[in-house]
Amino acid sequence: MAAEAAAVSPEEARYRFIPFRRADLFDMLVAEDALSTQDREVFLGAARAVQAHFREDFNDLKQSLKNAYAPLDPDADTRFLHSREEAGLST
């Protein structure tokens, strides 16, 4: 079943990749004359909000991973509030 989900036709694969950097894509969209000045500002505000959401979501995930790894890090230079035994880890 996993192989079926992973199988993608070349036609479908073609639509999964945008060959432009995000900043360039925004610049191209804003440069088009299809939007009024007010609509352009609304678009840029919405784009910034979407970027901020994904940045915050990624940062939360990154911090969770760092916190999960911290007690296991043999090269940690930081101090822990709880000992490894209290955290359920053996030394």
Question: What is the secondary structure of 38-83 as a DSSP string?
Answer: HHHHHHHHHHHHHHHHHHHHHHHHHHHHHHHHGGG-TT--S--SS-
For 88, which DSSP code? Answer: T
Query: Is the confidence at residue 4, as pLDDT, over 80?
Result: no
pLDDT (tens digit per residue) in 25-71: 888 888 888 888 899 899 999 999 999 999 999 999 999 999 899 88
